[in-house]
Amino acid sequence: MKRHVKAAVLLSGALVVMPCQAIAADAEPPSPQQISANLPSSPGQAGRWIADGKLMVAVVNEATADQVRTAGGVPQQVARSQGELDRLFVQVDKIARTQRGLQSWGIDPIANKVVVKARGGYGAFAGLGDGVQVVRVNTDFRQQAGEVNPGDPWWPGGESNCSVGFPATDAQGNKHFLTAGHCTNDANQAAYGASGQSSRLGTSNVGGSRSVNTREGDMGVVAITEAGWTTSPNVNTWGQPAVTVTGSAEAIVGETVCHSGNTAPNWECGKVTAINQTIDYGNVVIDGLTTSTACSQGGDSGGAWLRADKAVGLHSGGNSTCSPNEDNSIFQPVGEALAKWNLTLLTDKPPVDDDEAPTTPGSPRSTGATSDSISLTWDAATDNVGVTGYDVLDGSRVVASVAGTAATVTGLTADTSYSFTVVAKDAAGNKSAPSAAVTARTQTGSTGRTFGNGTDYPIRDFQVAVSQVRSTASGRTASPVKVTVEGNHTCLEDLNISVVSPSGRWYYLQRYGGTTCHPMPATKAYDVPADETAAGTWTLRIGDNGYADTGTLTNWSITL
């Protein structure tokens, strides 16, 4: 998602990116950020944040807690896993799309809940349990714009100024800079530099394919094409010695970040309050943004957010006020923009001769589905220099590009099965082998007489996986009722599979028994001789009556 920041300054024909306040990292012991970078993600973790100079990690079991301690972090036992939080977020997001008066919604790792900040519509989330917390707020977020101010702006055509983000290069070595998507919404628009409309530096949103201001994010690219313009990794700190960008990083809740931009006060620092938030700007809703207590104003849009000398974001919006300890500013993670357009951040380090591909991303899995989207996560890949992002592919087509290890693929067809793979990328353009495929199905939506649930449920030894759908169909059921079950399990003979009608009557689809194990079919359809009232809650139950077997219910539907 996106954020606003000021970043670069154009002086004497040179494009200079300004960072925020320099924050020196301790050499010994390792900083919380270094510990976080070296600590791999795992299903037993449920988020990270920084407090009192330490990396805090939410964990759901003691084995994961031991891993965190060994790495140098501080484990915090919580009730909900990352998978549970992801599934709650999918439910919240589905409701939030229908509500007015919301400011933002996303996972809070410290509270171990999905937090909704709202001016109204509080009751819509009441049925989701104590894993969802609604916080009342009185402010609105706005994507910021502004008048021409002294400093280091750039102008999209004849419009009011924005701020320059981070310079970057493409695979051919061509020069660009990143900025906000709402500053680059016009295709092939002239971009002007330090002297205003009399000094063209390049072209914004070349071809109409280099700007995003939607659910995907708030990010755009300006191509530097005019003679005499150069780029620099040095960030203007407005009176302090310049900070030179050495690389990029992902923000962590609780750490200090700073931004540089065109509007006074030009350089501001604050604490990260939340990551991966969905922000409602009134005119557009954007996913994946980060919030901070730092102040900002109109004209800061697109500028640079930094953690010490690491680029973390592009300024997207805020309150244009400065209330202590509030969410005052919002930024788009910079890694997502670099990955989307295959750009390399300009730093003080010379290019590395790197021909080694990242390792293959591990264990891709679905964490939830709606009628038009599927959410995925996977284990991080590694690289000799560094992984810069991931592509999610449907066959050979890239359907999502992200910096982290989770993505939501949108624009899908209801009640349809999809198979995705994940590829890791590094700054040199090397790509890993595709991951194992993960198959998931979108939900059916609310029309017709077919209803489904695409949420993943693990099938564990001597436990029962329970998944429900709510039917709004009228009259009696068809004869027979059609039930389709999708998933995997290493021993079908260990399973009891049944569907329970709204009246409480059980219908067995598969009974436990047998001396030889066969894998559960990926998709299996059943005809059920039911004569019931169609409306109400239908429940699928899968009981595992054996041991040392594994499996997952990925989707099921019932046609009434």
Q: Which residues are catalytic?
A: 182, 218, 301
Report the alpha-carbon distance of residue 70 to residue 58 in Å, rounded.
15
Report the alpha-carbon distance of residue 4 to residue 334 in Å, rounded.
11
Half-sphere exposure of 488 (CA within 13 A, CB side): 6
Half-sphere exposure of 56 (CA within 13 A, CB side): 16
Taking residue 46's Cβ as centre, other Cβ atoms within 10 Å add up to 24
CB 389 within 8 A of CB 250: no
Three-state SS at 529: coil
Omega before 29 cis (within 30°)?
yes
Complete DSSP assignment for 280-324: E-SS-EEEEEEEES----TT-TT-EEEETTEEEEEEEEE-SS--T
Among 333, 364, 389, 382, residue whose Cα is nearest residue 43: 364
CB 498 within 8 A of CB 508: yes
CA distances from 521 to 294, 465, 553 (A): 53, 17, 11
Residues 6+ apart with CB under 8 A from 129: none
Residues 6+ apart with CB under 8 A from 498: 506, 507, 508, 509, 540, 541
Phi and psi torsions of 417, nearest 5°: -85, 135
Residues 6+ apart with CB under 8 A from 240: 21, 22, 267
Residue type, 407: A
Q: Provide the H-helix boundaries in 72-135.
A: 82-96
Q: Which two three-digit tokens encode residue 554? A: 């990925």
Among 387, 379, 386, residue whose Cα is nearest residue 403: 387
CB 163 within 8 A of CB 156: no
List residues bridging with 393 in a β-sheet: 398, 421
Residue 82 φ/ψ region, left for φ over 0, alpha for ψ in the -120 to 50 degree band, beta for the rest: alpha
List residues bridging with 236 in a β-sheet: none
CB burial of residue 362 (10 Å; 0-12, 13-18, 19+): middle
Report the alpha-carbon distance of residue 533 to residue 495 in Å, rounded.
28
Half-sphere exposure of 138 (CA within 13 A, CB side): 2
Among 92, 114, 305, 93, residue whose Cα is nearest residue 219: 305
Three-state SS at 7: coil
